[in-house]
Amino acid sequence: MKKNKFVIILFLSIGLLILVGCLLVKYSSVKVMTLESNISMLDEEDNPPVNNSIQTINLKFSEPLDSNTISGNVKLYKMDSGGNPIEEPCIVKIDPGSSTTMNINNKKVEKFTEGEEYKLVISSNVKSTTGLALKKDFVGYFAANYTSSLSGVADLNNTRTQTVVISDLHLGVDDAFAETKANRQALVDFLNQIENSPNVKELVIAGDMFDGATCCYLKRIA
């Protein structure tokens, strides 16, 4: 009798362990939605990727979207000169040709203002048709590239306020003496980043760009 009780208890214990294991596997592998964007975005406010000619942001989700969960859960902001997000009216629609794609436009359905930095927030309250959600709120920062022109950009509103100062580049007088010859591409990349930054108004090279030179001053025409 005692042996039978022991066997019953043993089998019950094994069954309970199997059940608990199955539940742990089930809840540890709960699916969440993911998304991909047609533009470059990062969650770093201080270093937004610069994109050329943005008009429509296309977000491709891993699951078909529930249109009833979109309203109020997608926010677009323009960052002011102090780094504060100012909400921008936007139009958000599910692509009629793809239930997994969300299209986001500004209110005018025009290109985003050049030279401006933006913030996009997709709430985890956005759900799929099966009830899945993002693991957490999606937050992405990005900037619209600035195209240099003598006329400037009418909508820019003089939001560029930063001045970058560098010195002692020592480019020499010819390639035989240029100290930065091996790092010339790095210098070009740096200057391109300065040019495309939505916050930088001017670059000041405070001495020794070329050996013997004293100062070089570069300012945007916008």
Low-confidence ranges of the chain (pLDDT < 70): 1-13, 15-17, 19-30, 147-160, 169-183, 198, 207-222
What is the pTM assigned to this prediction? 0.60
What is the domain partition of the chain in residue ranges?
Answer: 35-144, 160-219
So what's the pLDDT on residue 199?
72
Element (H, E) at 9: helix 2-28
- Residues pairing with 141 in the sheet: 42, 119
So what's the pLDDT on residue 148?
58
Q: pLDDT (tens digit, 9 = 90+) per residue, 160-210?
A: 677 888 877 666 555 665 555 666 777 788 887 777 776 777 888 776 666
The radius of gyration computed from the CA coordinates of the chain, to the nearest angstrom, equals: 27
Query: CB under 8 Å to 116, separation ≥6 — which residues?
Result: 78, 79, 143, 144, 155, 156, 159, 198
CA atoms within 13 A on the CB side of 94: 17
Cα–Cα dist 103/116, whole Å: 20
Output the CA torsion 35→38→44→45 (10° steps): -120
Instruction: Identify the three-state secondary structure at position 140.
Output: strand
Q: In CATH, what number does 35-144 get?
A: 2.60.40.1220
So what's the pLDDT on residue 194?
77
Q: What percent of the chain has pLDDT over 90?
A: 45
